[in-house]
Amino acid sequence: MGNRRNNRKVWFFAVSSILLGITFCLSSCTTSKENNSNSLVIKEQGSFMVGGTKTTETDTFDLDSALKPQGQTFHGDHAYAFYQIPEEAHKLPLVFLHGAGQSKKTWETTPDGREGFQNIFLRRKFSVYLLDQPRRGDAGKSSVEVTIKPTADEQFWFTQFRLGNYPYYFPNVQFPKDTTSLEQFFRQMTPNTGSFDAGVISDAVSALFNKIGDGVLVTHSQGGGPGWMTAIKNDKVKAIVAYEPYSVFMFPEGELPQPINSTGLFGALSGVEIPLADFEKLTRMPIVIYYGDNIAKEPTKVWNMDHWRSGLQMARLWAAAINKHGGDASVVHLPELGIKGNTHFPFSDLNNVEVADALSKWLKDKGLDK
Amino acid sequence: MGNRRNNRKVWFFAVSSILLGITFCLSSCTTSKENNSNSLVIKEQGSFMVGGTKTTETDTFDLDSALKPQGQTFHGDHAYAFYQIPEEAHKLPLVFLHGAGQSKKTWETTPDGREGFQNIFLRRKFSVYLLDQPRRGDAGKSSVEVTIKPTADEQFWFTQFRLGNYPYYFPNVQFPKDTTSLEQFFRQMTPNTGSFDAGVISDAVSALFNKIGDGVLVTHSQGGGPGWMTAIKNDKVKAIVAYEPYSVFMFPEGELPQPINSTGLFGALSGVEIPLADFEKLTRMPIVIYYGDNIAKEPTKVWNMDHWRSGLQMARLWAAAINKHGGDASVVHLPELGIKGNTHFPFSDLNNVEVADALSKWLKDKGLDK
């Protein structure tokens, strides 16, 4: 009897002590995790140049006349990519291509110092590739000559990018109204170091996909055109997300819609005809296009609101053509989701987490976050 | 007796089980640590523009003529900074300023795909700030006009930067000899979007130190001059590390050494006179200057080796002047430490970990890694 009682004691002590030990372990493990909860855990990060051209001057290089071009080479028209791969990353990375006058900075810290899509989607376990397109930013070597003049145009951009109608902000705008944020916004523009060439850009972005494999291409504004062209050139583009694309919507020969008149400062918006075989390549992948707020529903003389009215309208015609040919394209006007006040830069606006949530849901719905 | 035996058993089981549990805990903790040992744990990362100028055109901005400059502003001549702060970071961050024709890319992934000083010093718990100087890279908005012509000059740079004497690599060179690495090296150059101006650059870098506080400034090549000027302008520069500075060595009025003749393609090297009061500001902080290998000891007609001979010799005269005035400057010719074969880019050469170790030791010796 005494022995059995003691044996029971033995097992009680033994089992409870093991549980005590395990509990101690688990608590210590979770504690260390909680301490790091705000930190980014980056499995790998780095940068590289990709794509581009090489030219060689005639004659032979002479080491003693090394300042003469003879026989020397020039590499240019490549893209620059900075990438970060988080631990336990989803299979498909997000490749970010900026818009006109912008660089990869556009996806980084917002003008008022919050996290941009770079950090937001790293935290959501996506690998991110941020590009400077050929002839922009750190990818500045251009095969064509350019003259860059300092041009006072920031009040134009304030208006064109729908912060408001300078000097007035739109009442519901999701842009911070302090001068420091506006200054950051103006300073983050950076000039072309060679003429904009969608063919050159899409060649370099296609070369990037050849290097990294399948991925999702996220474009902004002027990046939209090179984005479609990249997807036509390279079937490793498995989906396209386009924020406020403008000016280059491609339709099959014979299916071009009428130009859309606009009081926007660039006038009427026309589509572009491409061969049906190329157009059909855009029906291979899911595509979503997002537009922000303060875009006119009917023609108006408020030129910025009317400029983007024509863009949104052309985007809807384009998506209808894609879907008619068996594709999967949708146009989301964010206010229709109840996401109000966005400028031309929804991904860095004050509500960019809400904007990111909409994208996360779309990526999940399309099975792109495996 | 039986009871005492059983009690001993009880305690044996209990204690051994606790040890078992704790062992299980520790092993699982260290395992998870080991799994992450190659990952970077970033407490905070982001980017911003800093410093710069603002100009405003005359007359009043007219919203209906928004493509005309009247009344519009232009922000330019700022620097771009991308920063990463690791967990448990040392007190002083490292601020990296690139050299001629380079951008912040120079400190990132090496031409052959290894980790550069950005990652190496993040792993060593230093916060890092990588700059694009004003009128370069993502900080492209310049207050002065520029024309950029594609110029075939890469065989010159191959030689000037001491990879070798084109097409021959130096026998002991620490640069990878495959064509892909050389192509990455050529493509990572990027042009000025406005004339190089050491005053403009040092103003922006000084503004960065005003924003972030005390730090260590790490410069390369042409960045050396703006680096000294930043330290003269801002006492938050607590130390300077200069890799292969050239062309701007500042001496007190009346203490200028004779120019140093050189067969280098830029000819003789002269110092620059500055007021004694400014020079003395450079005696407030520890300074180390590093030069790589394949630099001539005696005058030679091999122009790249002779160009850097004059730089190294002037650096030694300069350090002697700093120390004579009570400062703490040292010039390290890496081969004298047994670190051989380095090019003009020791921080990205094949042995850049060894080069980083030398810097880590210096930072520790000077108490800069607290």
Q: What is the CATH number of the domain that holds A180?
A: 3.40.50.1820
Range of the domain at A254: 79-366
Residue of B nearest to A70 (CA): B152
**Which of A14, A39, A87 comes nearest B13 by C-beta?**
A14
Residue B248 counted as domain residue: yes
In angstroms, rounded to a whole number, what is the distance separating the alpha carbons of residues A293 and B125?
43
Q: What is the pLDDT of residues A312-350, one digit of tens each?
A: 999 999 999 999 999 999 999 999 999 999 999 999 999
Question: Which pLDDT score, from 0 to 100, does residue B9 have?
Answer: 53
**How many folded domains does chain B comprise?**
1
Q: C-alpha dihedral over B307, B311, B313, B319, to 10 degrees?
A: 180
Q: Does A335 touch chain B (CB under 8 A)?
A: no
Answer whether residue A305 shows pLDDT above 50: yes
- Whether residue A7 and residue B3 make contact (CB cut-off 8 A), yes or no, is no
Answer whether residue A194 shows pLDDT above 70: yes
Which distant-in-sequence residues (6+ apart) come within 8 Å of A357 by Cβ? none
In angstroms, rounded to a whole number, what is the distance separating the alpha carbons of residues A29 and B29?
6
Q: Does A47 touch chain B (CB under 8 A)?
A: yes
Q: What is the pLDDT of residues B161-188, one digit of tens each?
A: 999 999 999 999 999 999 999 999 999 9
Q: What is the mean pLDDT of residues B253-275?
A: 96
> Which chain B residues are Cβ-neighbours of A89 within 8 angstroms?
none
In angstroms, rounded to a whole number, what is the distance separating the alpha carbons of residues B99 and B128?
17
In angstroms, rounded to a whole number, what is the distance separating the alpha carbons of residues B79 and B257?
33
Q: Does B300 touch chain A (CB under 8 A)?
A: no
Q: What is the pLDDT of residues A343-359, one digit of tens each?
A: 999 999 999 999 999 99
Question: Which pLDDT score, from 0 to 100, does residue A269 have?
Answer: 96
Picking from B316, B295, B308, B319, the residue whose alpha carbon sits closest to that of residue B262 is B308
In angstroms, rounded to a whole number, what is the distance separating the alpha carbons of residues A248 and B279?
57
Q: Does A25 touch chain B (CB under 8 A)?
A: yes
Q: B125: left (phi > 0), else alpha (psi -120 to 50), else beta?
A: left
- Whether residue B25 and residue A20 make contact (CB cut-off 8 A), yes or no, is no
E strands, B118-245, in order = 128-132, 146-148, 164-165, 168-169, 215-220, 237-243
Residue B250 counted as domain residue: yes
Answer whether residue A116 shows pLDDT above 90: yes
Q: What is the pLDDT of residues A53-112, one digit of tens each?
A: 999 999 999 999 999 999 999 999 999 999 999 999 999 999 999 999 999 999 999 999
DSSP class of A349: S
Pairing of strands B286-291, B237-243: parallel
Confidence of residue B29 (pLDDT cuts 50, 70, 90): very low
Q: Does A194 touch chain B (CB under 8 A)?
A: yes
pTM (predicted TM-score): 0.91
Residue B133 counted as domain residue: yes
Confidence of residue B70 (pLDDT cuts 50, 70, 90): very high
Which distant-in-sequence residues (6+ apart) come within 8 Å of A32 by Cβ? B29
Question: Which pLDDT score, from 0 to 100, does residue B26 have?
Answer: 40
In angstroms, rounded to a whole number, what is the distance separating the alpha carbons of residues A228 and A97?
12
Q: Does B181 touch chain A (CB under 8 A)?
A: no
Answer whether residue B356 shows pLDDT above 70: yes
Picking from A295, A301, A303, A310, the residue whose alpha carbon sits closest to that of residue A259 is A310
Residue B12 counted as domain residue: no
Residue of A nearest to B190 (CA): A140
Residue of A nearest to B13 (CA): A14
- Which residues of chain B from 133 to 152 reach within 8 Å of chain A, CB to CB? 136-152
Picking from A155, A168, A234, the residue whose alpha carbon sits closest to that of residue A201 is A234
How many contacts, defined by CB atoms under 8 Å, are there between A and B?
Answer: 309
**Which of A141, A150, A153 comes nearest B145 by C-beta?**
A150
